[in-house]
Structure 1
Amino acid sequence: MSPTSAPAATVHVLRVFTNARGQYGNPLGVVLDGASVPAAGRQALAARLGYSETVYVDGFADKGGSRKVQIFTPTSEIPMAGHPLVGTAWLLAQQDGTPPEFLVQPVRLDNPVPCAVSGARARIDVTPSTAPDWELEQLADPGAVESAAVPGRGEHWQRTLIWAWDDAHDEPTVRARTFAWAWGVEEDEACGSGVVRLAALLGHGVRARTGRGSVVEATMRPGGLVRVGGRVVLDGRREEPVGA
């Protein structure tokens, strides 16, 4: 960087919860060098990027390899979100050669999040009560979910996952969409935390076909945990100016 150039951060751009062919998925921005973005500038960068979430990795939380992260929507910091943690675990595994054992979020989340990566897939185990408080609304059938109009800001479904059973599959499968104006996002392509809440409500695992064609998989684990995961693709990198 020349003496006159502005400070910049490298943002890795992922798609999380793609289908088996690597299509669709929820875009995610990850800044592996969190120190490159001052704390006061993180919210502004997340808003400018416009992804449903942006993650900043702030180094090691302990000698065991746990990594500290912060998650921002375009409007606020949040303590837990599915696709950011799944995507970040996968990206760290690609960069470091091994996934972190835990992801640690210092904001309003008491317990670290266990994670694992295998090939193109990553997963995390979470306590459902730590997920954002999504409203879950069941509709009559997949067609009703697909034809639902996107609500405007301030209307109904401001933080809502709508869903319906999809009986065309052998395993428990739902068709879902997520609307998130409460966090500055019109429609979220694939919402891991919403599927976590849904699995906890149903009391069993579920596979969600969500958004345009993304796939989120959730299973119940001992101790009331829900394991949520899926496929991840790296689309590239972008350099973004940051405030001093």
Structure 2
Amino acid sequence: MIDFEVVRVFCGADGRFGNRLGVVRDGAAAASREERQAVAGELGFSETVFVDDAARGVIDIYTPTTRLPFAGHPCVGTAWLVGVSSLVTAAGTVSVRRDGDVTWVAARAEWAPPRTLREYASSGEVDALEVPPPGEWIYAWARTDESAEASFQGIRARGFPGRSDGIDEDEATGAAALLLTAELGRPLLVTQGRGSQIFTRPLADGLIEVGGRVSR
């Protein structure tokens, strides 16, 4: 097995939770897509990142079963770990900024993989959901009154990838939160999974920022 590091992305305010991310700093150790897919499958994280050029922030993203042009939690986690000002993904260049303990990335909604955004009447309904059968990537969400700041709409969410790859529920999903922000058109504070937190903010130029706390 090649060397890799693990960080938790979109941690709660107390540093707990977050979605685990595998980061292979030496992308050349698994040069081909086939090798990278095999490594990602063996690691079993919802996503694994291969860093092809640390200075320029060139990265390649994989789930256990497929390659992704862009994904939110891999970008936020890798930006925090490598310390770059931008990332180059297969979908496009992602800008990076830091505000206190929150790392932000900016991307376009059309870069995100398709997700079914399914609204529920209350956070209780979202909490009570059972894992749906495989088939479509479902982001179940409901509005809440909980928010760390008055400018952010509170959201309770759960993510179900539906890929039959061992990830029945995603603890925190930046791309889905990005798509929800594009739909609602306002800043969000998403509490997902067991207690992970995702901040989002639409920008004037059509980009959407996705941010969160990262920890090892």
**Class of the TM-score when normalised by the shorter of the 2 chains:** over 0.9
Among 71, 78, 94, the residue aligned to 2:68:
78
1:116 to partner: Cα distance = 2.0
| Alpha-carbon distance between aligned partners in 1 of 2:164 and 2:175, rounded to the nearest angstrom | 14
| Alpha-carbon distance between aligned partners in 2 of 1:87 and 1:223, rounded to the nearest angstrom | 24
Distance 1:168 1:116, change over 3 A: closer
In structure 1, give the amino acid aligned to 2:214: V
| Alpha-carbon distance between aligned partners in 1 of 2:65 and 2:186, rounded to the nearest angstrom | 32
Residue 47 (structure 2) pairs with residue 37 (structure 1): no
| Alpha-carbon distance between aligned partners in 2 of 1:168 and 1:130, rounded to the nearest angstrom | 29
Distance 1:182 1:82, change over 3 A: same
> For the Cα contact (< 8 Å) 2:171–2:192, is it kept in 1?
yes
> For the Cα contact (< 8 Å) 1:120–1:233, is it kept in 2?
no
SS at match of 2:74: helix
Residue 155 (structure 2) pairs with residue 161 (structure 1): no
| Alpha-carbon distance between aligned partners in 2 of 1:45 and 1:118, rounded to the nearest angstrom | 33
Residue 195 (structure 2) pairs with residue 220 (structure 1): no
Q: Which has the higher contact order (CA 8 A, sep 6+)?
A: 1
Alignment match, 1:10: 3
> For the Cα contact (< 8 Å) 1:75–1:183, is it kept in 2?
no
| Alpha-carbon distance between aligned partners in 2 of 1:37 and 1:70, rounded to the nearest angstrom | 11
In structure 2, give the amino acid aligned to 1:50: G
> For the Cα contact (< 8 Å) 1:188–1:211, is it kept in 2?
yes
**Structure 1 length as normaliser, TM-score?**
0.82
How many percent identity over aligned positions?
39
Among 69, 72, 96, the residue aligned to 1:115:
96
**Structure 2 length as normaliser, TM-score?**
0.93
User: What's the RMSD between the two structures over aligned residues?
Assistant: 1.5
In structure 2, give the amino acid aligned to 1:230: G
1:153 to partner: Cα distance = 2.5
Alignment match, 1:47: 41
Distance 1:12 1:222, change over 3 A: same
| Alpha-carbon distance between aligned partners in 1 of 2:78 and 2:113, rounded to the nearest angstrom | 18
> For the Cα contact (< 8 Å) 1:104–1:113, is it kept in 2?
yes
In structure 2, give the amino acid aligned to 1:227: E
| Alpha-carbon distance between aligned partners in 2 of 1:118 and 1:162, rounded to the nearest angstrom | 28
| Alignment gaps of 5+ in structure 1 | 1-7, 94-99, 235-244
Q: Provide runs of 4+ in structure 1 moved above 3 Å.
A: 117-120, 168-171
Between the two proteins, the alignment pairs up a number of residues equal to 211
